[in-house]
Chains A and B, each alone.
Chain A
Amino acid sequence: MANKPDDAAAATSLSRKTPETRGISARQKLLAFSSLVLLIVVFSILSPNFFQPYNLIAIMLATAVNGVLAIGVTFVIITGGIDLSVGTMMTFTAVMAAQTVAVWNLPVFVGVLMALVAGTICGLASGIMVAKLKIPPFIATLGMSMLTKGLSLIIARSKPIYFTNAPSFSKISMGTMFPFIKDFQIPNAVIILFVLAILASFALNKTIFGRYTFAIGSNEEAARLSGINTDRWKIAVYAVNGLICGIAGILIASRLNSAQPALGQGYELDAIAAAVIGGTSLSGGEGTILGTIIGAFIMSTLTNGLRILSVPQEWQIVTTGIIIIFAVYMDILRKKR
């Protein structure tokens, strides 16, 4: 993808771009990034409490779960698909982890593994439904969404499961690998988000997996005629998305120190919104991880800033809605040219 030089993994990028190709992608990325900077500047001016270490960490922590989910769904959207089940898939993996650790009394790492496996299996199933059974992604993943929601409630008996027996579980999200920086202790959840973003960006730009993700989204028929096993790669994309949902599930369970089976629905729309704000095209073939991360940060910064300014929560939601519509309209305007 030509956007590489601007991307998270770009530090190692080898390719140089002609000025023209660089111009278009850079401008598009710049729009999202400058919106984020603008938001931060405006909120900093309006409230002295905004640009404070503890608040910036709060924003990052609030971005972690949505950011991780958005990374996964970005892959799916680039193939021209959609996944409406990431929110409840996340919950399902959280419940599975809690069941393993808190109910079956198994070690924390087994719980983590369980969440990742559960997510991958769900993703795999969605992928098979889409690629092999030719069920439209919208419907297949809508079904998967209800399925995982129901299973979460059944397994947890509709009640939260608390990690009372494993205090170390909450360290996964809320502990920090860098305790030595005073006043700016970045929680692990945020570090996991950034590490995952760099890995995902690398996968998207430097590996066969990423190349075929774009190829399928750009022109699936052409990709198929070029001898690519498009079905297999599509299934892989959905499976990777499921795996990433598992990571999000661990993060959220750890942060809440519990698995909340009723939580989760609605997260998928936030994730899709973050990807779209960040320039991922719903028609496929276009998108970057950096854009998605910026999109996720725009959403959480907006929510945080409005809350600090004591804007009622109802209006925060309205504002987010307007931002999403505006972002997509900008994308359409850009494409018209």
Chain B
Amino acid sequence: MAEPIIVVRNLSKAFPGVQALQNVQFDLCPGEVHTLVGENGAGKSTLMKILSGVYQRDSGEILIDGKPVEIHNPRAAQKLGISIIHQELNLMNHLTAAQNIYIGREPRYAGGFLLDERTLNAKAKELFDMLHMDFDPRTKVGELTIAKQQMVEIVKALSFNARVLIMDEPTSPLNEAEVEELFDIIRHLRSQGVGIIYISHRMDELFRISDRITVLRDGQYMGTSRVSETNLDQIISLMVGRKIDETARRIPKGKPGEVVLDVRNLNRGRLVKNVGFTVRKGEILGFAGLMGAGRTEVARAVFGADPIDSGEVYIKGKKITIRHPRDAAKHGIGYLSEDRKRYGLAVGMPVLDNICMTDLPAFMNAFGVLKPKKMQKTSAEQVKALSIKTPSLLQKVKFLSGGNQQKVVVAKWLVKNCDVLFFDEPTRGIDVGAKQEIYQLLNELASLGKAVVMISSELPEILRMSDRVVVMCEGRITGELDGATATEEAVMKLATQRETMVKTA
């Protein structure tokens, strides 16, 4: 094989509270597809961001063509021939494909002030032709499918004479046919000597498109192997295999109670396909899966935040119709979103108002005037019950810690007497100490007889907290495991079980 374009040696990077990368090794040769795999938070994105100049490394070496380099910013990366295609595309929808590709570098005349649109389109067309794409560069990007937009990004990257193309989860928004098309392009680029770093969660794809696979786990380098010399089980065992503190596992108190929530044949678009599950009183049901598996979409659909295509929801055996979050709340279903600040809290308002917010009519007299004493009493009870650490009820929520903010959200739903609580990534963005508090809180809620559904992308958390684990992949439930005996390997296998794999298996 040719000399590698990129060699990464002993790369480390820390963020406050996390060692994102520790002594990571990586290399990329021209004309190969080198795939990076790892759980959510394994450090793949951090590594890519360092290579593309978004982050700076703490220590270690990056060599390009054998020479050590510093990549201070995205521009420097581009100069070195490294282009990245982010999961979220950076395009201007109102401009045409050609205009997007050459934005900031438009061919001009008349002293650089007038645009030479003809040359612009011709140059873009040339690039598309080179990749055998039949494409009118004058089409507005906003009118293209996501797949086509991605191609525009790829062409844009190549227009910088990229020798290294980084693709972060490029296939997650694509359908099967589009994935094929993308793979054709990747193969074509590979044959032209472009090195491609590919990040994906879709295990079957890796084996179809990669030449080599490198596994990261918790920021550590776990090894690199040629695709021909490894298999899926080996890769998965490298990805997980973390020790779990068995003593920390939740021990359910007594037998779980009656079924509170029963969801059947729920469908919504591509990300919720025939989903059915039940939750019992006093139980924590874990929803595991990789990012984009459709777990949040399930919760939102049940909660009435998004309209469903079909499906039935039963509360304590009675069929209910949920068209709006209001209906869900009325039937005692609460949803605590991942993004607390955006959806869950009015951070500029005091603790008291936030707690009473969901149930304001209960605090009003006949004339619609609020009863401050009753609000105070109720919120004081909640602050005590959940031991929310706040100097006063009038403290603005934004000054509380992440864990305490989470508790305020919980209090909101408890005031409404919710029986079923969906927690979407309850510990994301919270430090380790606060995590413990959240775990304790979830346990307490379960022992109070609430039915808790916890969506989490962190495997240890899922295994530690859940009585039962439901695993999703691409909108389908691929399996259910008993929380007491589930292993990371088992969950990961289900989480990567794509429909196409099931068919071919």
Report how far A300 CA is from B285 CA in the complex, Å: 64
Report how far A78 CA is from B117 CA in the complex, Å: 20
Question: Within 8 Å of chain A (Cβ to Cβ): is B92?
Answer: yes
For A226, the chain B residues whose CB sits under 8 A away are: 90, 103-104
Question: Within 8 Å of chain A (Cβ to Cβ): is B114?
Answer: yes
Of A2, A18, A225, A228, which contacts B74 at CB under 8 A?
A225
Contact flag A219-B90 (CB < 8 Å), given A206-B114, A227-B75:
yes
Report how far A1 CA is from B138 CA in the complex, Å: 9
Of A17, A211, A228, which contacts B115 at CB under 8 A?
A211
For B108, the chain A residues whose CB sits under 8 A away are: 208
Report how far A24 CA is from B113 CA in the complex, Å: 29
- B103 and A223 contacting across the interface, CB-CB below 8 Å: yes
Chain A, 275-311, CB within 8 A of any chain B CB: 285-286
Report how far A17 CA is from B95 CA in the complex, Å: 13
Of A21, A209, A223, which contacts B138 at CB under 8 A?
A21
Q: B72 to chain A: closest CB distance in Å?
A: 15
- A214 and B92 contacting across the interface, CB-CB below 8 Å: yes
For A218, the chain B residues whose CB sits under 8 A away are: 92-95
For B96, the chain A residues whose CB sits under 8 A away are: 2
Report how far A1 CA is from B139 CA in the complex, Å: 10
Chain B, 79-135, CB within 8 A of any chain A CB: 90-96, 99, 103-106, 108, 112-115, 117-118, 121
Report how far A119 CA is from B471 CA in the complex, Å: 63
- B94 and A222 contacting across the interface, CB-CB below 8 Å: no
- B94 and A285 contacting across the interface, CB-CB below 8 Å: yes
Contact flag A208-B92 (CB < 8 Å), given A18-B139, A21-B140, A24-B143:
no
Contact flag A227-B115 (CB < 8 Å), given A2-B96, A21-B143, A285-B94:
no
- B138 and A211 contacting across the interface, CB-CB below 8 Å: no
Contact flag A219-B91 (CB < 8 Å), given A20-B143, A228-B103:
yes
- B138 and A17 contacting across the interface, CB-CB below 8 Å: yes
- B118 and A15 contacting across the interface, CB-CB below 8 Å: yes
Question: Within 8 Å of chain A (Cβ to Cβ): is B136?
Answer: yes
Report how far A215 CA is from B96 CA in the complex, Å: 10
Greatest chain B CB density within 10 A among A1, A206, A218 is at: A218
For A15, the chain B residues whose CB sits under 8 A away are: 117-118, 121, 138
Chain B interface, number of residues (Cβ within 8 angstroms): 27
What DSSP secondary structure best describes chain A's contact surface? helix
- B99 and A211 contacting across the interface, CB-CB below 8 Å: yes
Q: B236 to chain A: closest CB distance in Å?
A: 36
Q: Mark A214-252, 1 if CB is under 8 A from B, else 0.
A: 110111011101111000000000000000000000000
- B93 and A208 contacting across the interface, CB-CB below 8 Å: no
For B95, the chain A residues whose CB sits under 8 A away are: 1, 211, 214-215, 218
For B75, the chain A residues whose CB sits under 8 A away are: 227
Of B92, B118, B140, which contacts A2 at CB under 8 A?
B140
Contact flag A1-B94 (CB < 8 Å), given A21-B139, A21-B140:
yes
Report how far A20 CA is from B96 CA in the complex, Å: 13
For B99, the chain A residues whose CB sits under 8 A away are: 211, 215
- A285 and B93 contacting across the interface, CB-CB below 8 Å: yes
- A215 and B115 contacting across the interface, CB-CB below 8 Å: no
- A207 and B113 contacting across the interface, CB-CB below 8 Å: yes
For B104, the chain A residues whose CB sits under 8 A away are: 223, 226-228
Question: Within 8 Å of chain B (Cβ to Cβ): is A14?
Answer: yes
Q: B134 to chain A: closest CB distance in Å?
A: 12
Q: B417 to chain A: closest CB distance in Å?
A: 38
For B94, the chain A residues whose CB sits under 8 A away are: 1, 214, 217-218, 285-286
Chain B, 154-185, CB within 8 A of any chain A CB: none
For B105, the chain A residues whose CB sits under 8 A away are: 227
- B93 and A219 contacting across the interface, CB-CB below 8 Å: yes
Contact flag A206-B90 (CB < 8 Å), given A21-B139, A24-B143:
no
Q: A301 to chain B: closest CB distance in Å?
A: 29
Chain A, 98-131, CB within 8 A of any chain B CB: none
For A222, the chain B residues whose CB sits under 8 A away are: 90-92, 103
Q: Mark B292-303, 1 if CB is under 8 A from A, else 0.
A: 000000000000
Closest to B86 in A: A225
Q: A313 to chain B: closest CB distance in Å?
A: 39
For A14, the chain B residues whose CB sits under 8 A away are: 117-118
For B118, the chain A residues whose CB sits under 8 A away are: 14-15
For A21, the chain B residues whose CB sits under 8 A away are: 138-140, 143
For B121, the chain A residues whose CB sits under 8 A away are: 15
Closest to A13 in B: B117
For B92, the chain A residues whose CB sits under 8 A away are: 214-215, 218-219, 222-223, 285
Closest to B139 in A: A21
Q: B141 to chain A: closest CB distance in Å?
A: 9
Contact flag A208-B140 (CB < 8 Å), given A14-B117, A219-B90:
no
Chain A, 13-49, CB within 8 A of any chain B CB: 14-18, 20-21, 24
Report how far A21 CA is from B75 CA in the complex, Å: 33
For B91, the chain A residues whose CB sits under 8 A away are: 219, 222
Of A16, A17, A208, A225, which contacts B106 at CB under 8 A?
A208
Q: A207 to chain B: closest CB distance in Å?
A: 6
For A208, the chain B residues whose CB sits under 8 A away are: 106, 108, 112-115
Q: B140 to chain A: closest CB distance in Å?
A: 5
The residues of B with any CB-CB pair to A shorter than 8 Å are 74-75, 90-96, 99, 103-106, 108, 112-115, 117-118, 121, 136, 138-140, 143
User: Can you list 23 A-B pairs, Cβ within 8 angstroms, ordered by A?
Assistant: A1-B94, A1-B95, A15-B117, A15-B121, A16-B138, A24-B143, A206-B117, A207-B113, A207-B114, A208-B106, A208-B112, A208-B113, A208-B114, A214-B94, A214-B95, A218-B94, A219-B92, A222-B91, A222-B103, A223-B103, A223-B104, A226-B103, A285-B92
What are the 9 A-B residue pairs with the smallest beta carbon separation, nearest first?
A218-B92, A285-B94, A218-B94, A222-B90, A226-B104, A227-B104, A226-B103, A219-B92, A228-B104
* Given contact pairs A219-B91, A227-B75, a sample of 7 additional A-B residue pairs in the complex whose CB atoms are under 8 Å apart: A15-B138, A206-B115, A211-B103, A211-B106, A218-B94, A226-B104, A285-B92
